Structure 1
Amino acid sequence: MRRPRKVKAEINVVPYIDVTLVLLIIFMITTPLMNLGVDVNLPESDANTITIETEPAVVNVTANGDLYLSIGGEYELLDAETLQQKLSAFVKVNQELPIMIGADESVSYGQVYQAMAIVQQAGAKKVGLISDPIKPE
């Protein structure tokens, strides 16, 4: 009589390891390419630092006058009308959160004023300006 042959019930994990390594390489390459901020040289100020518990909406005005909006960390390039619409929707949901405005130090007062007017037209009650602290010499 022949003995029944035992079947090996093993899972081949080599393809899973290959896929995992490929995904790891893809993430390592694409992560540094993500643009998580807008290049703005903020003016220096000796104003007191405020602490906000939740992430506010941030409007940035770049050196060439582009308007960026960040709600939750990702910046989005917008025109003035779309910016006002998005801020209006944000203010309806988050009435007590401030909207912060950051502008490049080379931006004219008129462009910063235009950004502030858009924020005001959106219905924001709390507006702040972002600056860098003065560096000691």
Structure 2
Amino acid sequence: MKQQTSKFRREFLIVVILCCLGAYATAKFALHQAVPLSFWIMTAFISIATFFIFKILMDANVNKRPPVFVNYFLAALTGKLMLSAILLLVVGLADRSNLKFSAIGFFIVYTLLTVVELKNLLPLIRNSDR
């Protein structure tokens, strides 16, 4: 399990760094503007949320009880989606001019972090006794 956690951390950091570099390069070279502060804030929130959700799901899988894990997983997914909706609403109200860049960038970051999270959770679920 410790190996899986370190693998998640490595992949998590790679994805976050690549997303930030991609956003910077896109804004600077393609759009000729600065990356909106709202994008950085949203990326930080979803990154921290994903990291802690993964830790909670790892702890939920310790007992190897699939129904408990499924409940935790669905609750975490719902919480992450609600956080995303709230963040997008706040950005839409506060910084409407940068909403498009922030929303598209946030969707990409959210999707990639969810893929990393699921990729690292699947081996644990498959190895648990049913």
Query: Greater share of strand residues, 1 or 2?
Result: 1
Work out which structure has the larger RCO, using CA pairs closer than 8 Å and 6 or more positions apart in sequence.
Answer: 2
Between Structure 1 and Structure 2, the one with more helix by share is 2
Q: Compute the TM-score of the two structures, normalised by the length of structure 1.
A: 0.30
